[in-house]
Structures are given as C-alpha cells and as structure tokens.
Amino acid sequence: MKAYLWSFLILTLTLSCSAPEQVKSEKEKLFETLLSVKGHGILFGHQDTYAYGYTWNDVEGNSDVKRVTGDYPAVFGWELGGIEKGVVANLDTVSFDNIRKYAIKAYHQGGINTFSWHPFSVVDRVDSWNTDNKVVDKIIPGGSHHEAFKKDLDALANFLNSVVTEEGIKVPFIFRPWHEMDGTWFWWGVESCTPEELKELFRFSIDYLRNEKGVNQMLVAYSPDRNFYTRQEYLTWYPGDEYVDVIGMDNYYDLYTDGLVGEAIDKLHIVIDYANEKGKVSALTETGYENIPDSTWYTSKLGKVLADKKVAENISYTLVWRNDPLKHFFFPYPGHPSAKYAKEFLKREEMWLLNDLTTFKKQQ
Ligand code: BMA
C-alpha cells in the first residue's frame, strides 16, 4: 500500500475513534437558552420593535421599549404575512428586506427572534381574517389548492433561509404558525376547519419547511388563544410532540379585567404542566391591551399573571403586540400614562430585557 494511503487510513481511523464532541446547532442552542432561563427570568418581547413606534418609522436603533425602559426587548417578534404573494413588504408595510435586517441585528445583539405569519389564503388571496371561503381542506394534501399552497410555503422558506449573518449562520427563530386556531377570526379558525384538518395543515407545513426546504434553524410554537379550560381542550389542535418545541398560549381577553386574571393563570398552568412533562418550553406567546386604556395594565394585569409563583418559575417568555402609529399600540410610548407602570413592571428582578438575557448567557 502506498504511503499516502496508509496515512489516509490512519487519519480515518483516528477521526472515527475519537468521536469529536457534537457541535450544537443554532436551533439547539436557542432551545437550550429558552429552557435555561426558566425559573430565573421571563424574557419580555415586543412585536416589530425596531420597525416603527409612536410616532416614528424605521429609525436606526429605535424601539418604543428602549425609549421607555432604556433597553431593548429580549424577544423580537416579526410578521411574514404577504411573503406568499411575492410582494416587497408585509401586510403592515414593513419591507421583507428590513425584517431580514432587523432579525439579523437582534440575533447579533443576543436577542431571540420569533416569526408570526398571517397569510393571504391561496384560495382567494384575501387576508387571514376572511372566513367566507373554506380554505384549510383545500390546501392540505389531497386538496384542490395543495400544490399552490406549497408555492406559498416555498416563498416563506426562501425568506426564512435568507435570514443569514455575514458569517453564513442561518439565524435561528421560533415560528408560530396557525396560531389562535381556537378562535373564529382566521380562515384556519375553529369554525372554518376541523381539528383534524388543522393538525394536518400544521404537520404538513412543518414537515415541508423542515424536510423539503431545509429550514433547520426553526423551533415551533403551538399557540391557541384562551378558549380552553382543560388539558384535553388545550390539545384539541395539537399536531404532536415531534412538531412542537414551545407550548404556548395567546391571551388578550382574560387580561382585560381583574375578574379573568385568575383564568389566565389557570390556563397557563395547563400549558406549563404539559410543557414540563414533555421537556418543552412554555410561554405566553402573545398578549397586550390595545391602546392600553387601563394605564396600570402592565402591573395590575400582565404583572399579576406573571407574578403567580408557578407562572414566574416556569414560563420562558411573553410578547406584547405591535406599536403601529397608524393603527394601534400595545407598549406605551414615552409620556403615555401607562409608561410609568410598564417601566415599574419591567424593573422587576424576574422580568428580563435584552441586557439581562445577554448577561445571563455569558454566565452560563
Ligand atoms: C393584528 C393587527 C393588524 C396586523 C396583524 C398582523 O393583530 O395588528 O393590524 O395586520 O396583527 O401583524
């Protein structure tokens, strides 16, 4: 045997015997971070925080959370509705180029990105809130619009796979598809499809993104709204443990009044118990009070829910909705009467903004 063949053989044997420690993927690292904050802090999130606020638009480094508290949120939510139509901006007029830029920036700063998707259905191309036409049965495998729906997923995947750093790292994120399926307002809602159809849609979407399109930097959140009282009800649309990493709940309504705050807590306990049994992350994935008419909302409602011992010790994050100058806001801007309460709430030891998260990660 030639000398170089010997050295090749020896090298191969050495490599296969010394089994180098597995390098963790970005997705695994993100999951570990989310699990590790549990019991230490609750990450605070805000939708579209870099994109706009009251009353500014796309100002480098700006965020209403930063303007009020001095720091950025730890979780950054972005919306992808419209990507399936091949247009340049999402349904809230934020360009996809900017969304990509913001998500990469959040990643570099040590934050966590999460994507929501309110697609225009491929059946009628009206928005997610149009329930006039049955859509889900047509887009799942075997449906009349299944092939067309795959093209929508292609567009979504192409965007997700384009959120890449200069070093070539695909930015990891939490995807929260087909959320609030227990509500009536979306074309994938409770009155527009059966639980079995929804599950099939969920599974197909994730399988397709992961297996056909190589979206391997994605964690997945399951987030019904507030319409459940038992574990069984909560899991009505659950696609299965192999599809979901974040066991979530969206909830606005229960946090409007003192009377329902207890229900929000009870529901989070259902979420938490399931997540803990399965070794998954739990979260209050979307909440807020439109235009914050109750100025104490951050301390007296959200603050009360998150002060519950079991909630505080278990959920990893929460996220409030967007501050669109033309439509509505969910986080105060400086000078709004609720700003003082939001600040007080976010000063709590267990409420974490970006600096708290990055400091924690350095200590790990
Ligand atoms: C809703 C509203 C809409 C918006 C949508 C997607 O809750 O804020 O104005 O288009 O979310 O971001």
Q: Which of 9-13, 51-55, 71-75 has the lowest mean pLDDT?
A: 9-13
Q: Pick the catalytic residue: 286, 290, 344, 350? A: 286
Residue 154 has pLDDT above 70, yes or no: yes
Confirm or reject: Cβ of 308 under 6 Å from ligand 1: no
CA angle 16, 22, 28 (to 5 degrees): 155
Q: Give the C-alpha separation, 236 to 213, whole Å.
A: 28
Query: Residues 292-302: pLDDT tens digits?
Result: 999 999 999 99
Question: Is 129 touching ligand 1 by the criterion CB < 6 Å?
Answer: no
Does residue 318 contact residue 358 with C-beta atoms inside 8 Å? no
pLDDT digits (tens, 9 = 90+) for 180-205: 999 999 999 999 999 999 999 999 99
Looking at residue 328, the DSSP 8-state letter turns out to be -
Partners of residue 221 on adjacent β-strands: 246
Residue 118, ligand 1, Cβ within 6 A: yes
Is the per-residue pLDDT at 12 higher than 80? no
Domains of the chain: 38-363 (3.20.20.80)
Mean pLDDT of the chain: 95
Q: Which atom of ligand 1 is nearest to the CA of 81?
A: 6
Asked if the model's pLDDT at residue 179 lies above 60, the reply is yes
Provide the pLDDT confidence category of residue 128 given band limits of 50, 70 and 90.
Answer: very high
Q: Residues 176, 114: contact at Cβ < 8 Å?
A: yes
For residue 162, what pLDDT is reported?
98
Atom 4, ligand 1: which residue's CA is nearest? 92
Cα–Cα distances (Å) from 97 to 73, 160, 162, 202, 349, in that order, read 21, 12, 10, 27, 36
pLDDT for res 259? 97
Distance between CA atoms of 134 and 290, rounded to whole angstroms? 29
Rg value, the chain, Cα: 21
- pTM surpassing 0.85? yes
* Cα 23 from Cα 60, distance rounded (Å): 34
Distance, in Å, from the CA atom of 356 to the CA atom of 43, rounded to the nearest integer, reads 9
Q: Running DSSP on this structure, what letter comes out for residue 71?
A: S
pLDDT digits (tens, 9 = 90+) for 232-279: 999 999 999 999 999 999 999 999 999 999 999 999 999 999 999 999
E strand or H helix at 219, and its extent? strand 218-222
